[in-house]
Amino acid sequence: MNQEHTPEEQAAAWIKESSSTVVFTGAGMSTESGIPDFRSKNGLWTKTDPMEVASAEAMNQQYDLFHEFYTLRFKTLERCHPHKGHEILAAWERRGLVDAIVTQNVDGFHQQAGSQKVYELHGALKKVCCIDHGHQATSDDFIMGKRCVCGSRLRPGVVLFGEMLPQDAWKKAIEVIQQASVLLVIGTSLQVSPVNQLPLMTAGKTIFINQEMVPAASGYDLVIKGKAGDIICHLNDLLCGGSS
Ligand code: OAD
């Protein structure tokens, strides 16, 4: 790294020069919107065992607990909105500064903020369907505990522990990440496989933005410690004079 540059200045210079920038986000991208992450101090998995509430086994064997957990997540989502950082990433796509977003998040905030090319590796909470046949239903149907017309119970459209990732999104994510000349990884502990393998697949420059350091950060070309929204705003000042 050029020592005359701050990490943010270096990141902005790489993004400016890049022929293809891909952004890879995790739960830390949405905590400033009010959605808790999973593994930091107040994360969901510090209070609840994911296998008890967010696994295929939980859905099939203790539906009430599963339903209660996801109802809470829907209610949290109803109160929250994308923040300035989501909006800036969408504006960067419109300006040609970002090619695609690959996300582990299920809140739909990137699309809500205007991003077009988004690959959701862990599904989308609001894509409710029935467990047995995949018939579509609504979030309200799920929250109210309704069943599908076919009689099956409902589930949110998220990938549960023990389930495969959506293969289309996975393949597209690999494709864009392999072609990227800059990969910006934001707000993830990089603990969950197989998605934590994706950043290793790029030949481009790698930038890691997170509020705390995690072991995998040591492999990155550039690390910026701080809040996702603040850092994205700072980068936007450097790249676009603050406009979005
Ligand atoms: P984690 O909770 O594991 O990691 C989130 C990371 O973001 C932590 O390192 C936090 O320190 C950091 N963070 C929190 N707020 C931040 C902020 N405002 N700015 C910057 N960093 C911040 O979440 P993920 O890595 O996304 O999977 O978790 C991956 C998957 O594990 C999730 O998609 C979910 C979960 O089980 C499924 O549900 C399938």
What residues are in contact with ligand 1 under a 6 Å CB criterion?
26-28, 31-32, 37-40, 43, 50, 54, 104, 122, 158-159, 187-189, 191-192, 210-212, 214, 227-228
Query: Is 122 considered catalytic here?
Result: yes
Q: Which residues of the chain carry a pLDDT beneath 50?
A: none
Give the number of other Cβ atoms within 10 Å of residue 177's Cβ. 22
Q: Whose CA is nearest to atom 32 of ligand 1?
A: 104
> 224 with 11: CB under 8 angstroms?
yes
For residues 186 and 17, what is the distance between their CA atoms, to the nearest angstrom?
20
- Cis before 36 (ω within 30): no
DSSP 127: E
Q: Whose CA is nearest to atom 29 of ligand 1?
A: 192
Largest Cα separation within the chain, whole Å, is: 65
Q: Where are the alpha helices (DSSP H) in the chain?
A: 7-17, 44-47, 50-53, 56-61, 63-79, 84-94, 109-112, 139-143, 167-179, 228-240
- Is the CA virtual torsion 52, 56, 58, 64 positive or negative? positive
Probe target for ligand 1 pocket from 8, 23, 38, with the most ligand atoms within 8 Å of CB? 38
> 3 with 164: CB under 8 angstroms?
no
| pLDDT on residue 3 | 56
Q: Whose CA is nearest to atom 33 of ligand 1?
A: 104
Probe target for ligand 1 pocket from 188, 214, 227, 235, with the most ligand atoms within 8 Å of CB? 188
Which atom of ligand 1 approaches the CA of 188 most closely?
A: 25
CA of 228 relative to ligand 1 center, distance in Å: 11
Which atom of ligand 1 approaches the CA of 121 most closely?
A: 33
Dump pLDDT digits (tens) for 36-74. 999 999 899 999 999 999 999 999 999 999 999 999 999
Catalytic residue among 86, 110, 122, 234: 122
Q: Is 114 left (phi over 0), alpha (psi -120 to 50) or beta?
A: left
